[in-house]
Amino acid sequence: QKEVEQDPGPLSVPEGAIVSLNCTYSNSAFQYFMWYRQYSRKGPELLMYTYSSGNKEDGRFTAQVDKSSKYISLFIRDSQPSDSATYLCAMSAKSSGSARQLTFGSGTQLTVLP
Amino acid sequence: DTGVSQNPRHKITKRGQNVTFRCDPISEHNRLYWYRQTLGQGPEFLTYFQNEAQLEKSRLLSDRFSAERPKGSFSTLEIQRTEQGDSAMYLCASRPSGRDSYNEQFFGPGTRLTVL
């Protein structure tokens, strides 16, 4: 079983819909949580970053972390066709070493239909 | 552009050849990562540098792979005797040192390797 599980999609929604993307994880040491957006054949672009638990809002995007359930979410309000991409969750532990390398989910492919 | 840059963007090679990729991190970032991403999967960690020191290597980094970061600036990733299974997107990321709560990693556009 993978350390990070992500709903595989693909997910298609109409323009203006609220999108919910989710990941679960098994490593209780994870403390840094990120969401990246990746367009086809491009590098991942950092969207949201959260340290430890709680919510974070940035424009149309809201990230939630529930460490007790080992569950993180990304909500996109008023979705736009330009939001069509693959969304990757990523997380890392506050390890004794300094690397803090990211462990990624496999990504959810989102299409927002005009 | 002050982001992470990678060269080349695409590389096609024949099995058995050696290839080398370059990454230029964001200038004030002293920490640099290499990841590999295959189709339909998230990136997987390969190796980590803090300044010029290579501090961590994944089990994925076989002895055909070597990475360097001379003088703590740009980094190179070399794959010797390439195999078809090496075909993937190779991604570089960087982050600055800083407060304990900070771990945002910024990725470059990647180098797509195809081994024929």
Q: Write down the pLDDT at residue A9.
A: 84
Question: Does any CB of chain A come closer than 8 Å to the CB of residue B108?
Answer: yes
Q: Is the sign of the CA dihedral A101, B38, B89, B19 positive or negative?
A: positive
B107, burial (CB in 10 Å: exposed 0-12, middle 13-18, buried 19+): buried
CB atoms inside a 10 Å sphere around CB B89: 22
| pLDDT values of chain A reduced to their tens digit, one per residue, 114 residues | 789 999 878 999 999 999 999 999 999 999 999 999 999 889 999 999 988 888 999 999 999 999 999 999 999 999 999 999 999 999 998 775 677 889 999 999 999 999
The C-alpha angle A60, A61, A64, rounded to 5 degrees, equals: 145
pLDDT at A6: 95
Would you call A43 and B108 a contact, using CB atoms and an 8 Å cutoff?
yes
How many Å lie between the alpha carbon of B81 and the closest alpha carbon of chain A?
Answer: 25
Inter-chain CB proximity A99 and B35 less than 8 Å: no
**pLDDT for the residue B100:** 59
CA distances from A3 to A71, A93, B21, B61 (A): 12, 12, 29, 19
CA–CA dist B58, B44 (Å, integer): 9
3-class SS at A83? helix
Q: Which DSSP symbol is given to B2?
A: -
Closest CA of chain B from A16, distance in Å:
27
Tell which of A56, A89, A102, A103 to mutate to test the B interface (max B CBs under 10 Å): A102
Q: Average pLDDT for consecutive 10-residue bins of chain B (116 residues)?
A: 90 98 93 95 95 92 94 95 97 83 86 97
Whole-angstrom CA distances from B108 to A8, A46, A53, A85, B111 are 24, 11, 28, 17, 9
**Considering CB atoms only, which of A44, A99, A105 is closest to B107?**
A44
**Are the C-beta atoms of residues A13 and A21 closer than 8 Å to each other?**
no
Beta strands in chain B (DSSP E): 5-7, 10-13, 19-24, 31-37, 44-50, 53-57, 65-68, 75-79, 88-95, 106-107, 111-115
Share of chain B above pLDDT 70, in %: 97
pLDDT of residue B1: 55
